[in-house]
Amino acid sequence: MYDDLKAKTAFITGAGKKDGIGFAIAQKLATNGCAVVLSDLEAEIKQVRSLVDELKAGFGVNAFALELDVTDQASVSHAAEELAKTVSSVDILINNAGAALGVPSAVHTYDDEAWMKTIDINFHGTY
């Protein structure tokens, strides 16, 4: 157990899938008493709220859900405002949001739109 995580808060993007990396990280942090804020797209927010309830019940930690599209600056700004209202500080940031759209596909047949959206999420989304 890492006792130094008990007074910390982690913010995790792309944490809306029960079998995903983001939620696995949240569980591990919660096991050590860390408060967590899970975020994902609007389409996933119902699932995120369910996962938050699971963390609260299973680990007794503070946990919160936040809607966030890392490719949309207005969404990022809104999420930052909501985050500031919800927690006093963020000690740990996990940029977990990611995608691999249009794969598997041969390079010469790869869809340009899928490629640009993948780059937007995986590269620009961390900015």
Domain that holds residue 7: 3-96
Q: Give the whole-angstrom CA distance, residue 101 versus residue 69.
A: 16
Same domain for 59 and 25: yes
Q: Give the whole-angstrom CA distance, residue 127 versus residue 95.
A: 9
Q: Count how many domains the chain has.
A: 2
Same domain for 85 and 115: no
Same domain for 38 and 70: yes
pLDDT in tens, 82-105: 999 999 999 999 999 999 888 888
pLDDT in tens, 38-47: 999 988 899 9
pTM for the model stands at 0.90
Q: For residue 72, which of 97, 49, 47, 90 has the smallest C-alpha distance?
A: 97
DSSP 21-32: HHHHHHHHHHHT
